[in-house]
Amino acid sequence: MQIQFKNYLLIVFASASLGFSASSFALEPMNLDFLKKQLVTYHDSGAYVHGIQNEVNMAEEYLQKRVAANNESAHPKKLAIVFDIDETTLSNYDDLKALNFGGTPAMIEAAIAKGTDPAITPTLNLYQLAIKDNVAVFFITGRIQKLHDATFKNLQTAGYTSWQKLSLKPNDYNQPSVVPFKSAERAQIVKSGYDIIINIGDQHSDLAGGSADRTFKLPDPYYFIP
């Protein structure tokens, strides 16, 4: 006990000399294995899709208001909606779980390349509503260009059968964030004459950078993309 107390004093004195207190040491984070189990519970309980549905409900309501106003306008605009893909229009959950919510970039890329990811149903319904209302659909994804064919096929088999443009990052994209790529793609859509009324994605980086009237953020506790 005396040795432990002396060690504690040494830590306190050392901390003071370095300019911070013993209380500033970070607490032990939650065990990673327990967090992964929580991810499964969150998904399987229905809470995950419920969170998506709530956000999509707001997007659908906004879409219908904008379409109605545009139809009554003396100068109607070309309306557009931008969708992200992973964890927005297509679900990678089965692959993520199979990789124990880890895996190397190559393993994740190989899973995507299979082109078998299912549609996220609430987002598919939003897509179908946009098509019905003649709102142009654009997909902008952080996937790289070499995955174009697999992505094209996967979107179609999942029910996303038509769109204006599918944009993927260049294979040699090396910026630390996807924001410059995605925001530039949206700016190009606006420049071509469209009004992007909705931009929807699961990452804040899907939505940053402007060029959209409203943004909608879907839940995604599985990974983070800057």
* Structural domains of the chain, with CATH: 34-217 (3.40.50.1000)
Nearest Cα neighbor of 49 from 147, 137, 153, 121 is 121
In the prediction, which pLDDT does 21 show?
53
pLDDT of 7 > 60? The answer is: no
In the prediction, which pLDDT does 11 show?
35
Residues 6+ apart with CB under 8 A from 5: none
In the prediction, which pLDDT does 19 show?
52
pLDDT tens profile 123-180: 999 999 999 999 999 999 999 999 999 999 999 999 999 999 999 999 999 999 999 9
Distance CA 62, CA 100 (A): 37
In the prediction, which pLDDT does 23 show?
59
The torsion angles phi and psi of 163, rounded to 5 degrees, stand at -165, 170
* pLDDT classification of 10: cutoffs 50, 70, 90: very low
Max alpha carbon distance in the chain (Å)? Answer: 84
pLDDT tens profile 11-35: 333 444 445 455 568 888 899 999 9
pLDDT tens profile 177-211: 999 999 999 999 999 999 999 999 999 999 999 99
In the prediction, which pLDDT does 99 show?
94
What mean pLDDT value characterizes the chain?
91
pLDDT of 5 > 60? The answer is: no
